[in-house]
Structure 1
Amino acid sequence: MKILLIHQNFPGQYKHIAPVLVQMGHQIVALTPKVDKPVKWQGVQVIPYKITGASSRDIHPWLSDFETKLLRGHSCYAAAMALKAQGFEPDMILAHHGWGESLFLKDVWPGARLGLYCELYHLSAQPFLGFDPEFPTPAAEQDALRIRLKNLNNRLHSEVIDLGISPTQFQADTFPDHYRKRITVVHDGVNTEDVKPDPAARLEVTGGLVLTRDDEVVTFINRNLEPYRGYHIFMRALPEILKRRPEAQVVMLGGDDVSYGARAPKGKTWKQIYIDEVRGQISDEDWARVHFLGRVPYDRFLSMMQVSRAHVYLTYPFVLSWSLLESMACESAILASDTAPVKEVLTEGETGWMVDFFDKDALVDRLCDLLDDPETRTRMGKAAREFVVEHYDLRKVCLPKQLKWVEKLSRTEPRAPTD
């Protein structure tokens, strides 16, 4: 078969399945704005395209999100037309439609089957909106209207999707019933052959300090340090954690930007806002035990998880982070928020402990209890890894299910675009 992959940050979720499809003898082509010139990646022909056009300065704020997706969709359409002119006719298209690139691909190839990576459908009801009362929207009574428009991209894709795939039940279930019936739940997978405990792991942090499994290391990870992933809650717990754990080394990963929620006030970052809020409560000696590593290569991330004595994971009811499952695969002792996406993969007292997202005092108490209980940490860490190996292992569980989904898509009658 000829298969076209669409991802703004290729390979993204196709990192594992694309090379396997190549090995199976399929011709795999990818369109992405990530590269500047055509390249071969593990047998995949990767073709670049440029995103043209600019966002309108005075557009209604509710439409600005969709306008960026429209610009991407129109640019990808132009690239697809050029590819079609060269004689390429895909049997199927696999796309992450979250950024809008695949909006018009059925207009280019109406006979191609379209499989979408369905990450999230935005819902206006609690707890999806208004979960954190600290950050109210300016006009809460209009949230349903705004969110309805935020779903324009999702809604337009609902007319052309042939099959969808979603990594968790929580994410799949955010989609309306008519959409949901086309979605199969299959996680991207964790390569448990590489993501595993390492008693000899070492992690260099600030000042040249090297941490090992012998150290009391508390870890916290966000792609970007922001409230959506509980950064503000963890930072407010930090002074008491440092006070009660004089040997603890606290290691945090995450950038200064925003991945999901609202941006910080102009000229500021969420990272610095909450450092400023708590810094006066922490002595210089204790602050020297706090290590912000920013964004790091994957092997350094793994070393961090392998030396972690307790890993704290907090999140709004939102997309589940890959890092939680990867930390479980490393046999980390997990203390997480008791929010819906977490409860899908974590069982209280068996594979981890959970705490109310907003209760920083309970977070401190339970974290200290966990650090004082090596037997529980070991038991839960081993159970967490066993759970990930059984349900989320890349090679034995997730890749076979993904390939089965691709096969099902190949037998699905394609839907033509509608007016």
Structure 2
Amino acid sequence: MRILCIHQNFPGQYKHLAPALAKLGHHVVALTPKVDKPVTWNGVHIVPYKVQGASTKGIHPWLADFETKILRGQSCFAAARQLKAKGYAPDIILAHHGWGESLFLKDVWPEAKLGLYCELYHRATQEFVGFDPEFPSRTPETDALRLRLKNLNNRLHEEVMDAGISPTQFQASTFPDHHQDRITVCHDGVNTEVVVPREDAELALDNGTVLTRKDEVITFINRNLEPYRGYHIFMRALPDLLKRRPNAQIVMLGGDEVSYGARAPEGKTWKQIYIDEVRGRIPDEDWARVHYLGRVPYDRFLALMQVSRVHVYLTYPFVLSWSLLEAMSAECAIVASDTAPVKEVITEDENGRMVNFFDRAALVEKVCDLLEDEAARKRLGRNARAFVTQNYDLRTVCLPQQLEWVGRLAQTTPRLPME
């Protein structure tokens, strides 16, 4: 089959699936603005294109988000037409539609079967828009209207989606019923052959200190350090945590930008805002045990997981982070928020410990309890890895399910774009 992959940051969620399809003998092409020149990667032919146009100044804020998706969709449409002019016609299109690139591809190839990566449908319920009272909506009376427009991209794709795939039950459940009927729940997968526990693991810090499993290492990881992932809660727990654990080394990964939610006030970052809030309560000698590594290569991320004694994971009801499952695969002892996406993978005192997202005193207690109980840490870590291996292993569970999903997609009758 001829299979076309669409992702604004390819390979993204197709890191394993696209090469696997190519290895099976399918002709796999990827359209992405990430590269400047055509290149072949793991059997996948990557074709570049440029996103044309710019956002309109002064446009209504509810439309600004959708305008960027139109610009991306139109640019991808133009690139698709160029491929079609050269005689290319995919049997299947696999797209992460979150940024809008695939909006108009059925207008180029109406007979192609379109499979979408369904990451999230925006909801106006209290669980979503009012979860954290510290950051109340500025316009609660119009949240439902704004989010209805934010879902235009999802709604327009639903008209042409032949099948969808979503990584967790929670994420799939955010979509309306008429979407869910076509969505298969299957995670992207964890390579449990690579993400393994290692007794001899070492992590070199920027100050020259080398941490090993003999050290009391507490880890916290976000793509970006921000409230959606509980950074503010963890930081407010730090003064007590450092005081209670005088030998603990706190190591945090994450950038200074924003992946989800509101941006920090102009000229500031969430990272620095919460450093400034707690720094006055932390003596210099204790602050020297707090280490920010920013964003790191994967091997360094893996080493951090392997030296971690307790790993803290907090999140709003939102997309589940890959890092949690990877921490579990590395046999970390987990303390995590008892929010809906986390409850899908963590069972209290079976493969982790759970805590109310907002209860930083309880967070400190749970972390300290685990640091004092080596037997519990080992039991929870082993169970965590066993759970991931059984349910989320890339090679034996998730990738076979993804390939099966593609096979079923190939047998569907394509939906034609509506007039």
Unaligned residue ranges in structure 2 (runs of 5+): none
Deviation at residue 220 of structure 1 after TM alignment: 0.1
SS of residue paired to 2:126: coil
- Structure 1 stretches of 5 or more lacking a match? none
Q: How does 1:89-104 map to 2 (within 5 A)?
A: 89-104=89-104
One-letter amino acid of the counterpart of residue 311, structure 1: H
AA of the residue aligned to 1:168: T
- Aligned partner of 1:361 in structure 2 is 361
Partner Cα separation in structure 1 for residue 251 and residue 205 of structure 2: 8
TM-score when normalising by structure 2:
1.00
Q: TM-score, normalised by structure 1?
A: 1.00
Matches of 1:206 and 1:243 in 2, distance apart?
23
What is residue 237 of structure 1 aligned with on the other side?
A: 237
Equivalent residue number for residue 324 of structure 2: 324
Name the % identity: 73
Question: SS at the partner of 2:311?
Answer: strand
SS at match of 1:208: coil
Q: CA deviation at 1:354?
A: 0.3
**Map of 1:119 onto structure 2:** 119
Aligned to 2:396: 396
Q: Distance in 1 between matches of 2:206 and 2:18?
A: 38
Match of 2:160 in 1: 160
Deviations 1:46-65 (A, max 9, x none): 00000000001100001111
In structure 1, the residue matched to 2:45 is: 45
Find the aligned partners of 2:225 and 2:287 in 1 and give their Cα distance. Answer: 18
Deviates more, 1:323-332 or 1:123-132: 123-132
Q: Structure 1: which 4+ aligned runs deviate by more than 4 Å?
A: none
Cα distance in 2 for residues equivalent to 1:119 and 1:17:
16
Distance 2:349 2:129 in 1: 29
Q: Separation in 2 of the partners of 1:279 and 1:176?
A: 44
Q: Distance in 1 between matches of 2:214 and 2:14?
A: 37
Structure 1 counterpart of 2:407: 407
Could you say which residue in structure 2 is the equivalent of 1:375?
A: 375
Tell me the distance in 1 between the aligned counterparts of 2:147 and 2:161: 21
RMSD: 0.5
Q: Which residue of 2 aligns with 1:140?
A: 140
SS across alignment from 2:416: coil
- Give the Cα separation in 2 of the matches to 1:358 and 1:48: 44
- Name the residue aligned to 1:79: 79
Q: Amino acid of the residue matched to residue 190 of structure 1?
A: V
Distance 1:235 1:155 in 2: 38
CA separation in 2, counterparts of 1:369 and 1:149? Answer: 46
Q: Encode CA deviations 1:140-175: one digit per residue, 9 max, x unaligned.
A: 111111110110100000100000000000000100
The code of the aligned residue for 1:135 comes to F
Quote how far apart the aligned CAs of 1:20 are.
Answer: 1.1
Kindly provide the amino acid, as one letter, of the partner of residue 78 in structure 1: A
Alignment check: 8 A CA contact 2:129 2:137 kept = no
Paired residue secondary structure (1:47):
strand
- 1:60-110 CA distances to partner (integer Å, 9 max, x unpaired)? 001111111111000000000000000000001000000000000000000
Aligned partner of 1:131 in structure 2 is 131
Distance 1:207 1:37 in 2: 39
State the shift of 1:206 in Å. Answer: 2.9
* Conservation of the 8 A alpha-carbon contact between 2:221 and 2:253: yes
The equivalent of 1:194 in structure 2 is: 194
What displacement does 1:136 show?
Answer: 0.9
Please give the alpha-carbon distance, in whole angstroms, between the structure 2 residues aligned to 1:7 and 1:232: 31
Q: Does the residue aligned with 1:246 lie in a helix, a strand or coil?
A: coil
1:237 partner amino acid: A
After superposition, the C-alpha distances for 1:337-365 in whole angstroms (9 at most, x for unaligned) are 00000000000000000000000010011
| 2:147 alignment partner AA | I
The 5 Å alignment of 1:317-356 reads 317-356=317-356
Q: Could you tell me which residue of structure 1 aligns to residue 255 of structure 2? A: 255
Note if 1:265 corresponds to 2:257. Answer: no
* 1:281-292 paired onto structure 2 within 5 Å: 281-292=281-292
Question: 1:191-244 CA distances to partner (integer Å, 9 max, x unpaired)?
Answer: 000001011110011311000000000000000000000000000000100000
Structure 2: distance between partners of 1:346 and 1:365: 18
Deviations 1:19-70 (A, max 9, x none): 1111111000000000000000011100000000000110000111111111
Spell out the pairing of 1:8-47 with structure 2 (5 A cutoff): 8-47=8-47
Q: Determine whether 1:88 maps to 2:91.
A: no
Distance 2:219 2:329 in 1: 15
